[in-house]
Structure 1
């Protein structure tokens, strides 16, 4: 029996010493609470709140590969500061449903009231996009080119078209035109 098999998300009690980055600076920015079966934890430096109003462009992405056993996803928000793009917070989520993402984004807004990004660049996960639009209605939501490329390759594979893409120049050109669409000016 694995030691975490007797533990569930809603029963975890996080000792105070593990909620701080340094003395006087919180690292556990939000915890929906013991007893919440849909528990969300948001981690990041409290110091990031001091420049949260400057975060005009935010990158957002979720990953399942590094999620701890009791959570399904780690969702990351990144922002630029002095020319460097850095993670500003990590959210541990139990799933990728829209209501879960809404709860997370609302928790971010409650934690950082000045946080009001003008642009959010994210993957094409409909639940995350809809949640971002709901919680940050004035933000422009942009798809991430990396994810567009990855999804295109995935679809070519799923539809058994990878060979055709490699061997049929006309087909490869047409597929490449789809990927190039984000670079076409809206007027055209």
Structure 2
């Protein structure tokens, strides 16, 4: 884990009684090959609605235990005075679990970019023919846009809205879309959590 405690932003955050809502993300493409690391993990502070990296960790695993170790070090050594009320993270369950273990009173918010990324990956997983049909079918495109808009609803309404959308699939589209977005589909990760 590394950061510059003399970095002006870190000093600014030290003066604040509350850290606000840090964003946490990792990338796999910019890690050193020797020694071999799996990911570069980044904690970002939000200042004036802009996420600015303040702490990085080179990690050789992406388990809940590994995330807990990094977050514990951040909390106990680098940012003892900061008590985030909310974290923005991707859809990786290990990271969300680790956040709650280290900061049990924090709220976990999911990142909209990562939600859309997961949605597009799921659609692409059905193959090129499926994507070609989707690109040429306005009804299906509108349905996908509605699914993409679910995170803008109040959290307690998302599951009900998702279920309602599924019931609105027309018989013409049923075979095409219902399997993709059904909660019971073996290929469908839970997009409503």
The TM-score with structure 2 as length reference comes to: 0.70
Q: How does 1:13-92 map to 2 (within 5 A)?
A: 42-47=1-6, 48=10, 51-52=13-14, 53-69=17-33, 70-82=36-48, 84-92=50-58
**Number of aligned residues:** 147
Check if 1:131 corresponds to 2:98: yes
Q: CA deviation at 1:71?
A: 1.1
Instruction: Structure 2 unaligned segments of length 5 or more: list them.
Output: 158-193
Residue pair 2:23, 2:46 contacting (<8 A) in 1 also: no
* SS of structure 2 residue aligned to 1:57: coil
Distance 1:49 1:57 in 2: 17
Instruction: Structure 1 unaligned segments of length 5 or more: list them.
Output: 1-41
Who is 1:150 aligned against?
117
Q: CA deviation at 1:186?
A: 4.3
Q: 1:163 to 1:89 in 2, by over 3 A?
A: same
The RMSD of aligned alpha carbons is 1.8
Larger fraction in strand: 1
Distance 2:25 2:43 in 1: 7
Q: Of 131, 149, 153, which aligns to 1:162?
A: 131
Q: 1:61 to 1:187 in 2, by over 3 A?
A: closer
Q: How does 1:1-12 map to 2 (within 5 A)?
A: none
Q: CA deviation at 1:64?
A: 0.5
Larger fraction in helix: 2
Q: CA deviation at 1:187?
A: 6.2
Distance 2:133 2:48 in 1: 45
The TM-score with structure 1 as length reference comes to: 0.72
